[in-house]
Structure 1
């Protein structure tokens, strides 16, 4: 693509020709390409001399393609697009932004982080982004096993082998009770009510301090909250709640997707708020991981 002396055309000259063919205005073409109008004119004249024919018809009022220019535009446009795509892919690979990135999060959170996913994909089209579900009862296992590169998890995460990025989403908790539970007719409840009824507890290896953010061990006045039903999945928890044996705080996003006749969701006055952030292995930070964390920060800042 280099070296006018050899009769070849510079890539920049092709770009000038295609831009002028689209804009049909020397001034706008120069402005769009951040070059002088004289540079645009000089480039077109050089190409016309090389080809031996006029590519544009110019008058004081208009610029339009000649039939020869139209044919050249049609032939060059597809090839130019392929060249630029190839260069972009090579640059992305050199920066480490090509490949596969696996992101894991709770199943109900996908829609809430759509802006993050969309921004990352827009910025890094050469990267294949894979999404995997993380169970709330075992939020760190997939990260440590290497099956997930980045997890979007609720905070806090205080693990020496894991790094934590910026908050990308917040979610209020509501209280899930059976539809015929004595609390079901209340318009809202206080956190203190958790001291009066048994609650669910996760069977998985979630750290106690993380679960405390979701369901504390004591009420605001210090009364113990009784754990009565051990569950491994969200569906197990909902079945136990619907049966009336337990109640439980539930993310408002979960409640929005689990409307059913045997459950009631009550707002909790002054209840916990879950804050979600990207989490990754400190020793597994790659350019793609850094790019995703940056997209998360930027999407949050504009959302």
Structure 2
């Protein structure tokens, strides 16, 4: 998660291009929680720009939202007016600022793959009240439905370790591990300790497969220009840019960075896209992400 904490990381771009969470996801989580009691408190771990905290706030009296990135906290504070939401810089591993049994629910969206669970599980067991709940959810790589060849090229550039095209090596070495592999495996390696948690429920969806709305909750039609912007928020690309400071994107007046080259090959692979010429960014495509929801109740 160190990439998102770097001063060079753009929290505004992350907020603009990352997919939002749909109502079915929140319904699943709140139905599992069985609705909070009056005076209830929610903790949002790895809150980013505050999307989850703002959405869930009407269901709780107060929300505490933490993130290790100072830039994310600043972005969240600037876009949030509700005085019942408190943002502070902090990590999942250190919840010492919370008293025992003070939380009714703790959630984490697209951040739980970074946690050190040797510290997180004891911390959550201390601060979540008996009967309170924890819910983690997140997503992995999207597929471009109906554009399978373009998806294959995207996967090769994003995760390749050797040359993906002549003279260009993939961004595989620039992912922070083991976090990325953990989320690509839909958090299956993360298990609630049975001594402290019960009623554990896991929902997961592999991209491109069928499934109910409850498990296939992140599908979105986007313009290719929006997909391009989303890919530029990837942590591997941020690290790649730091390793190649002299390479500029075409948008910044350069000859093209690795994502510009990747899109050249993706556009060439789909005749309908190529026929659009310079207007390819206007084309709409359905994106389907792999997703998981992991929930447990404090004994």
For the criterion TM > 0.5, the same-fold answer is: no
User: Bigger radius of gyration, 1 or 2?
Assistant: 1
Greater helix share, structure number: 1
Under a length normalisation based on structure 2, what TM-score does the superposition of the two structures give? 0.29
Under a length normalisation based on structure 1, what TM-score does the superposition of the two structures give? 0.28
